[in-house]
Amino acid sequence: MSLLRRIEKKPSDSTDARDRDKPSAPRGTGPADANVQRRAVPQARDAYMDLKNRVQNRLIAELDPAMDVTRTGEVRHTIKEMYEALLQEESIILGRREKDTLFEVIVAEILGLGPLEPLLADDTISEIMVNGPKKVFVERLGKIQRVNVSFESNEHLMRIIERIVAPLGRRIDESSPTVDARLKDGSRVNAVIPPISLQGPILTIRKFFKKPLTVEDLIRFGTVTEESLEFLRAGVVAAINIVVSGGTGTGKTTFLNILSSFIPAEDRIITIENAAELQLRQEHVVTLESRPPNVEGKGEIAIRDLVINSLRMRPDRIVVGECRGGEALDMLQAMNTGHEGSMTTLHANNSREALSRLETMVLMAGMELPHRAIREQVSAAIDMIVQLERLRDGSRRVTSITEVQGMEGDVITMAEIFKFDQTGFENGKVIGKLRPTGIRPKFMDRIEQAGIHLPPSIFGVAQRMRY
């Protein structure tokens, strides 16, 4: 008989004789039986967790501390042998399924991220949201849902968070209760703990695909069209400065990764990020990552410091994972001083708002510049804005590709080259396509000078229009 079945056995029959003489209700229908059934589940769960902790702690105590845990296969085999011997030694009888499940849980606790391991292995899940130890939500195929996964306690969840951030040289404690980090596969991690969080540790993981998305994947998902991607590829090769804009969770970093793959292999690329997520496949890539302050509040290396330093590293292209503050000024100056073809992302709801946010972030650099001077810097540096949105059916689409044309008075002028045209909403799916507006961008001369000749059909009916 398995452990869980032994726990769920009916209570002792040592009842009062008068009770035995009374007519009994059908089994499972009386209030006493209902209470017993309600108590059985948590009792079984508690016993299971007690067994897990006992076996796990024994295994950890007996494992060789000098063992190289990076050799996962060997460590797993060693744990398996010790696990089998321990169950036999203590005469613990489990069904095959329970035995295998318990082993996987223990291995996940020793070598991995505990209860998160099955979620990380599920390719249909794009985001994991842990709201305290007992509430775990995921985003699956664009929809958020709660899953039947939990941690034992706040302390258990904290151990998993510390296991993530410690190898990166980062810390999280009461004096520094928030942290940005990444997993080995590049997945983005954010953690918030008390006293900032009032419901225990909060952990959010934005998963990266095990196999990076390709151009064909984006076309198949309907994120972009073949024509618009051909235009974007030409822009990247011709060293057009590009900003990828969008809200949270719209896929900006993923799309920036796709655009970066179009950069010619002979160019020297420097990537700058808070937590390294970009997965560039070119050979000549230098990856820089910012660093938070240490326990004494010293040693911080901000994104802005890295952008300034990258200018001394002979870059052909500078790719900033995301502009959030004063580094926007240095990024614009780099684009204006011989580092054409650079790219970045920022949060904004549309292309016009992206320019306003850039202006605000330049002011955050502490430079007392007049608004017109900032707009001139922005209009001279940025050539194109790619706007991404997450639609109501959960799909992520490029909704606009806009050229930044220059200044008219105190206003930056823009022209939309491609625009998403929604034609309906059927069976819970948004129906629409990214279509050309008929406008030919001014920087087409630069694309042609790079030896790229796009067919006129890419720009639609009014393809011969020039400004």
Domains of the chain: 3-11+27-111 (no CATH), 116-206 (3.30.450.370), 215-459 (3.40.50.300)
What pLDDT score was predicted for residue 249?
83
According to DSSP H, which parts of 24-127 are helical? 31-62, 72-89, 96-111, 117-121
What pLDDT score was predicted for residue 278?
82
Percent of the chain whose predicted confidence (pLDDT) is above 90: 37
The CB density around residue 39, as the number of other CB atoms within 10 Å, is: 12
What separation, in Å, do the N-terminal and C-terminal C-alpha atoms of the chain show?
Answer: 82
**Alpha-carbon torsion 376, 380, 382, 384, what sign?**
positive
What pLDDT score was predicted for residue 16?
45
Pair 443, 419: CB distance under 8 Å = no
For 50-106, write each residue's pLDDT tens digit: 666 667 666 666 666 555 555 667 777 777 877 777 777 777 777 788 877 777 777
d(CA 422, CA 159): 46
What pLDDT score was predicted for residue 72?
67
Among 201-205, 210-214, 411-415, 440-444, name the one with the lowest average pLDDT: 210-214
Contacts of 250 (CB under 8 A, 6+ apart): 388, 389, 390, 396
Tell me the pLDDT band of 48, cut-offs 50, 70 and 90: low
For 263-292, write each residue's pLDDT tens digit: 999 999 999 988 777 888 888 999 998 887
* Averaged confidence pLDDT in the chain: 82
What pLDDT score was predicted for residue 49?
65
**Which helix H or strand E contains 363, and what residues bound it?**
helix 351-363
d(CA 262, CA 264): 6
For 289-330, write each residue's pLDDT tens digit: 888 777 677 778 888 899 989 989 999 999 998 888 888 998
User: For residue 154, which amino acid is it?
Assistant: N
pTM: 0.72
Beta partners for residue 398, in sequence order = 388
d(CA 400, CA 325): 24
d(CA 256, CA 280): 10
Tell me the pLDDT band of 28, cut-offs 50, 70 and 90: very low
Please check the confidence at residue 180 and state whether its pLDDT lies above 80.
Answer: yes
What pLDDT score was predicted for residue 204?
95
* CB half-sphere exposure, 347, CA atoms < 13 A: 7
Residue 193: C-alpha distances to residues 92, 128, 220 (Å): 38, 16, 40
Percent of the chain whose predicted confidence (pLDDT) is above 70: 82
